[in-house]
Amino acid sequence: MSTPLPGMADAQVERLIAALESLTDGELAVPMLIACGDRAVPYLEHFLLTGSPRTIALPRCRAVHALGELGAYSTLISYFHEYDPPGDAAVLFAEDAVRSAVARELLRWKSDEVFRVLMDAAMQRATSGITLALGEFHRAESIPLLFELLEDDLCREEAKDGLRKVAEAAHPYAILLIRGMADLQIRGPGSLRRRRATLQLLDEFGVTQDEWQDIRQFLFDRDADVVIAAATIGSRITGMGDQQGIVHSLFRISGHLNWAQEDHVCALLESNHETACTVARAIVNEKRSRGEQPNWLNPAWRILRHVLGPELGQELESGHYGAA
């Protein structure tokens, strides 16, 4: 519950609270409220806990920062305990910024209570700030939730950063996840982003030869980012037996890549140059048998040219393919 306002009004603080709404004076009001000390806390608390959320979050975020600077731990905790999601979508989205701001301010007190409050808040409705704050605790208990949030576009990067901070514990959970032994899903269209991010994290964590046997299945995925992540891992740890499969998988997706993916694929093929040249020649011969003409707007052809270099150019000049 919010603290009742004092019986005798403090006109100075009230003016500063009103100024939080101002486009011109709102930022200046924050340090002035902080300078007022503890006498400003009841007014800030009333503004945050009693005031209605709105489509513009900045005034409430300013109040949150002032409360954090003034050490109003209980008020910030109360905000999460009393949070009721607004029914209006625009207001809900704006209030997410306030919840993120409260989570960041609570990092001043890395207590068990704060951790539990943040976990509950993230399970209710995660935001980037809540996810970031959870990651700062470096607690293994948050790992399943952070992996779950890899599917959330607004929280993914913060979740990945949080998992990097507990890599030693996150690594075995990621392996359980790709083996289908965790509560979360990693296969199917509904978990595509989690699948991508998990493989990218495993590439950073490092994997063993035994773990690669579970990862190599993703070379056959339909998503280019998943295949590239799996191929990146495999290129670092496997022998020639798997290198050919890796190269084939990269050429399989080569016709539907963006520029960043194309650069990554070219770099991977360069690291397996001999195998890549062998596979590329076979692909060129197959295209020739179908009468296909080179199309340099297609990344598949550009990648073939990157791999074969002058060798492909000589064949073009000899007239095998006709005009480009």
pLDDT band for 288, please (50, 70, 90 cuts).
Answer: confident
* Residue 183, domain member (yes or no): no
Chain segment 205-263, per-residue pLDDT in tens: 999 989 999 999 999 999 999 999 999 999 988 665 588 899 999 999 999 999 999 99
pLDDT band for 323, please (50, 70, 90 cuts).
Answer: very low
Concatenated DSSP letters of 200-242? HHHHHH---HHHHHHHGGGGG-S-HHHHHHHHHHHHHH--HHH
8 A C-beta contact, residue 64 and residue 97: no
The single-letter code of the amino acid at 238 is: T
Q: 253: domain range?
A: 215-324
Chain segment 159-171, per-residue pLDDT in tens: 999 999 999 999 9
**Alpha-carbon gap, residue 295 to 214, rounded angstroms:** 36
8 A C-beta contact, residue 269 and residue 307: yes
Q: What b/e string do you get for 104-114 counting C-beta neighbours within 10 Å, with b at 16 or more?
A: bbbbeeeeeeb
pLDDT band for 294, please (50, 70, 90 cuts).
Answer: confident
Chain segment 30-39, per-residue pLDDT in tens: 999 999 999 9
* Residue 322, domain member (yes or no): yes
* Residue 254, domain member (yes or no): yes
Mean pLDDT across 120-145:
97
* Residue 184, domain member (yes or no): no
* Residue 179, domain member (yes or no): no
Of 225, 217, 301, the closest CA to residue 258 belongs to 225
Chain segment 141-198, per-residue pLDDT in tens: 999 999 999 999 999 999 999 999 999 999 999 999 999 998 888 888 889 999 999 9
Distances (CA, A) of 165 to 2, 91, 148, 175: 36, 33, 16, 17
Percent of the chain at pLDDT > 90 equals 78
Q: Which residue has the tokens 């791999």?
A: 307
Counting the structural domains of the chain, the total is 1
**SS3 state at 152:** coil
8 A C-beta contact, residue 277 and residue 308: yes
pLDDT band for 5, please (50, 70, 90 cuts).
Answer: low
Q: Would you state the structure tokens that stand for residue 221, as one six-digit string?
A: 């995925």
Q: Would you state the structure tokens that stand for residue 176, as one six-digit string?
A: 């359980």
**pTM for the model:** 0.87
Contacts of 181 (CB under 8 A, 6+ apart): none
* Residue 279, domain member (yes or no): yes
Mean pLDDT across 111-118:
97
* Residue 17, domain member (yes or no): no
Q: In this predicted structure, which of 3-7, 18-22, 195-199, 300-304 has the lowest mean pLDDT?
A: 3-7
**Alpha-carbon gap, residue 89 to 93, rounded angstroms:** 6
Is 37 buried (19+), middle (13-18) or exposed (0-12) by CB count in 10 A?
A: exposed
* Residue 310, domain member (yes or no): yes
Cα separation of the two ends of the chain:
74
Mean pLDDT of the chain: 91
